[in-house]
RNA sequence: GAGGGCGUAGCUCAAUCGGUAGAGCAGCGGACUUUUAAUCCGGAGGUUCAGGGUUCGAGUCCCUGCGCCCUCACCA
């Protein structure tokens, strides 16, 4: 049994033509010699390749003694099958007559072309593989209901072939990223998803309980602290591509579980990993452009890919701009000009004091301005690095060796989306311990239930972690860009949905 | 969390100003051996998301709830 695209490729025009000519000769001979014995007929000549294919029935045209069907599989949207009462097995013909849209069939027979020029399997046998007992979606429009597409992805996938293509592309891209990294000496590892402390990021975790040990566990919010332990252990280049879980809101760019590439390179810094990320993203874009070549707006040579109304060029070097520089360009005064920062914030209605009336530190006010005024100035169509964030905004990053007020951190922005932060990692256990303590001092009651001091990680740093560059790359967001999908749910096979049973129960009359 | 929009047959969608809930596809019965969203004939299909209200009369107006979508807020 072969897939439909392979079957289509196996069609042999010469054999088909020869068969048709010989059949015509036989017919002509019989007409001239109606009484001649069969043995005198020109011998049959059928060298047409025979194939066995399987697929889901998308169209079904019953002409009485000749039934036409179109099958779909993951390689071909619409592959034609003809079932003639004369040439197909009796049971096969019966199956064809009883077939409904959505059924799975196995069909065998020679490959031929119809009068209209369509490559077709002229069925000799048909076996039912599975009956589709659920009513199929509208055959032309497909399944349009957005909610149903996510909840019943299995219907979405066969009904809307573009959905399947997105996930085939995702698999291809992720595989290529893995290969790219492995070829450059990176080791892929798997670190705990169930953690006794959820560290490495500032998000709220999901909590679960382990019966055997009688303890609460947290779904990881990041693999960072474990990957760094591996640097301590002596692996100089490690990465993990896997899920993180964050107990926060959901929107077009956030799903509670999402896939992240996180990577560390010993004896590198943020420049090292920026360079690497740029190459990875460009390589991934090339892979996507090749896979999608022929689509509108896709230029495989660039590579340039459309994202909504944007045309994003991944081929040229990504733009780079320093945080302070972008700030000054956008606002017209320096980040450090506290008076003007506060004046501008008030002018724009940005809070300069907290709930209790205490003045907010200027750098945080400035960051609000930055996000409101400066970030929107970036060219959405150009992948752009924002570099050298103020140190106080990035407490867990190593301050710059040349300017301690600046953190060695860069964020990649594409189409207004934050794709991934890049850091020179902090490897001083005393500084790290102080930062942990500082972070813990400002937390509220809720936060204190899941945030704690990671003694073992500090111990690991005491053992000695090499200086390193580290980065995170949001795979889902990258796939949104590469597959031109407007929401993160469109690149996640089974995005989280509120369960429907809860909905119907609570919407019922109260008793 | 706030605001806005939407929810009609299995699916895709109509329904004017508040006046008998419709069509196409799917499904069912029938005809048809080169169709292409096959075609033709026949019949069937509804708690208009749920509950309440206004009205002689509600898919339509009002209220409440549920779900989804969008925008904003939150989010290293």
pLDDT, tens digit (0-9, with 9 covering 90-100), for A348-392: 878 787 767 778 888 888 988 898 888 888 888 999 999 999 988
Asked if residue A497 keeps its beta carbon closer than 7 A to nucleic acid strand B, the reply is yes
> Which token pair is A275?
């360079």
Q: Which nucleotides of B are covered by protein (CB under 7 A)?
A: 1, 10-13, 24-28, 31-39, 49-51, 65-76
Over residues A444-467, the mean pLDDT reads 85
> Which token pair is A54?
């399987």
Owner of token pair 């004896």? A267
pLDDT of amino acid A401: 87
> Which token pair is A149?
């597409």
On average, the pLDDT of chain A sits at: 91
Please name the nucleotide lying closest to A64, CA to C1'.
B32
Q: What is the pTM of this model?
A: 0.92
Asked if residue A100 keeps its beta carbon closer than 7 A to nucleic acid strand B, the reply is yes
pLDDT of amino acid A444: 67
Query: Which of A106, A27, A118, A37 lies closest to A73 in space, CA to CA?
Result: A106
Helix H or strand E encompassing A58: strand A50-62
The pLDDT-based confidence of A5 (bands split at 50, 70, 90) is very high
Asked if residue A148 keeps its beta carbon closer than 7 A to nucleic acid strand B, the reply is yes
Please name the nucleotide lying closest to A86, CA to C1'.
B33
Asked if residue A63 keeps its beta carbon closer than 7 A to nucleic acid strand B, the reply is yes
pLDDT of amino acid A159: 93
Owner of token pair 């059949």? A23
Please name the nucleotide lying closest to A496, CA to C1'.
B68
Over residues A462-478, the mean pLDDT reads 96
Asked if residue A229 keeps its beta carbon closer than 7 A to nucleic acid strand B, the reply is no
Please name the nucleotide lying closest to A112, CA to C1'.
B34
User: For A497, phi and psi rounded to 5 degrees?
Assistant: -130, 150
Asked if residue A249 keeps its beta carbon closer than 7 A to nucleic acid strand B, the reply is yes
Q: Which residues, in sequence order, are bridge partners of residue A194?
A: A219
Out of A128-132, A186-190, A200-204, A233-237, least confident range? A200-204
Asked if residue A236 keeps its beta carbon closer than 7 A to nucleic acid strand B, the reply is no
Q: How many residues does chain A have?
A: 511
Q: Which residue is nearest to nucleotide B7 (CA to C1')?
A: A145
Asked if residue A438 keeps its beta carbon closer than 7 A to nucleic acid strand B, the reply is no
With beta carbons less than 8 A apart as the criterion, state whether A106 and A126 touch: yes
Q: DSSP letter for A453, please.
A: -
Query: Which of A307, A260, A308, A303 lies closest to A481 in space, CA to CA?
Result: A307
pLDDT of amino acid A461: 95
The pLDDT-based confidence of A504 (bands split at 50, 70, 90) is very low
Alpha helices in A449-499 (DSSP H): 455-464, 475-483
User: For A86, phi and psi rounded to 5 degrees?
Assistant: -70, -40
Owner of token pair 């010469």? A14
Helix, strand and coil content of chain A, in percent to the nearest 5, comes to 40, 25, 35
ipTM greater than cut 0.90: no
- Asked whether the predicted pLDDT for residue A262 surpasses 60, the reply is yes
- Residue A277 DSSP SS3: helix
Owner of token pair 């709220």? A204
Helix H or strand E encompassing A8: helix A4-9
- Rounded to whole angstroms, the distance from the CA of residue A146 to the C1' of nucleotide B68 is 8
């Amino acid at each position: 049994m072969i897939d439909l695209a392979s079957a289509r490729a196996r069609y042999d025009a010469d054999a088909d033509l020869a068969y048709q000519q010989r059949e015509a000769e036989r017919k002509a001979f019989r007409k001239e010699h109606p009484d001649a014995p069969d043995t005198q007929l020109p011998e049959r000549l059928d060298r047409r390749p025979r194939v066995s294919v399987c697929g889901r029935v998308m169209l079904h045209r019953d002409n009485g003694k000749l039934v036409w069907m179109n099958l779909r599989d993951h390689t071909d949207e619409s592959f034609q099958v003809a079932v003639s009462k004369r040439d197909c097995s009796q049971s096969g013909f019966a199956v064809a007559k009883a077939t409904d849209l959505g059924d799975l069939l196995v069909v065998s027979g020679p490959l031929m072309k119809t009068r209209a020029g369509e490559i077709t399997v002229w069925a000799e046998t048909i076996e039912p593989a599975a009956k589709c007992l659920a009513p199929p979606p509208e055959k032309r429009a497909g399944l349009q209901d957005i909610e149903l597409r996510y909840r019943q992805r299995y219907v979405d996938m066969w009904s809307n072939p573009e959905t399947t293509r997105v996930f085939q592309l995702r698999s291809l891209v992720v595989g290529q990223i893995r290969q790219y990294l492995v070829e450059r000496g990176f080791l892929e590892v798997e670190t705990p998803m169930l953690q006794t402390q959820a560290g490495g990021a500032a998000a709220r975790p999901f909590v679960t309980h382990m019966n055997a040990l009688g303890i609460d566990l947290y779904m990881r919010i990041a693999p960072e602290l474990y990957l760094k332990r591996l640097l301590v252990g002596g692996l100089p280049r490690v990465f993990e591509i896997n899920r993180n879980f964050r107990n926060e809101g959901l929107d077009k760019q956030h799903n509670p579980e999402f896939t992240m590439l996180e990577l560390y390179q010993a004896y590198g810094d943020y420049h090292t990993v920026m360079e690497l990320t740029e190459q990875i993203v460009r390589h991934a874009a090339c892979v996507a452009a090749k896979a999608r070549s022929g689509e509108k707006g896709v230029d495989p040579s660039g590579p340039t890919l459309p994202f909504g109304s944007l045309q994003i060029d991944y081929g040229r070097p990504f733009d780079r701009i320093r945080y302070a520089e972008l700030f000054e360009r956008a606002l017209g005064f320096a980040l450090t000009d506290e008076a003007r920062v506060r004046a501008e914030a008030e002018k724009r209605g940005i809070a300069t004091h907290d709930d209790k009336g205490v003045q907010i530190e200027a750098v945080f006010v400035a960051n609000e301005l930055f996000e409101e005024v400066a970030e929107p100035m970036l060219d959405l169509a150009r992948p752009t690095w924002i570099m050298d964030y103020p140190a106080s905004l990035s407490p867990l990053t190593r301050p710059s060796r040349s300017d301690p007020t600046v953190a060695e951190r860069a964020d990649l922005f594409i189409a207004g989306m934050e794709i991934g932060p890049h850091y020179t990692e902090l490897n001083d256990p005393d500084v790290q311990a102080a930062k942990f303590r500082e972070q813990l001092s400002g937390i509220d009651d809720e936060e204190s239930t899941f945030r704690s001091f990671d003694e073992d990680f500090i111990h690991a740093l005491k053992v000695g972690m090499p200086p390193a560059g580290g980065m995170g790359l949001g795979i889902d967001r990258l796939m949104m860009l590469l597959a031109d999908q407007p929401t993160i749910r469109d690149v996640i096979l089974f995005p989280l949905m509120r369960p429907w049973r809860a909905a119907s129960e609570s919407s019922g009359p109260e008793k």
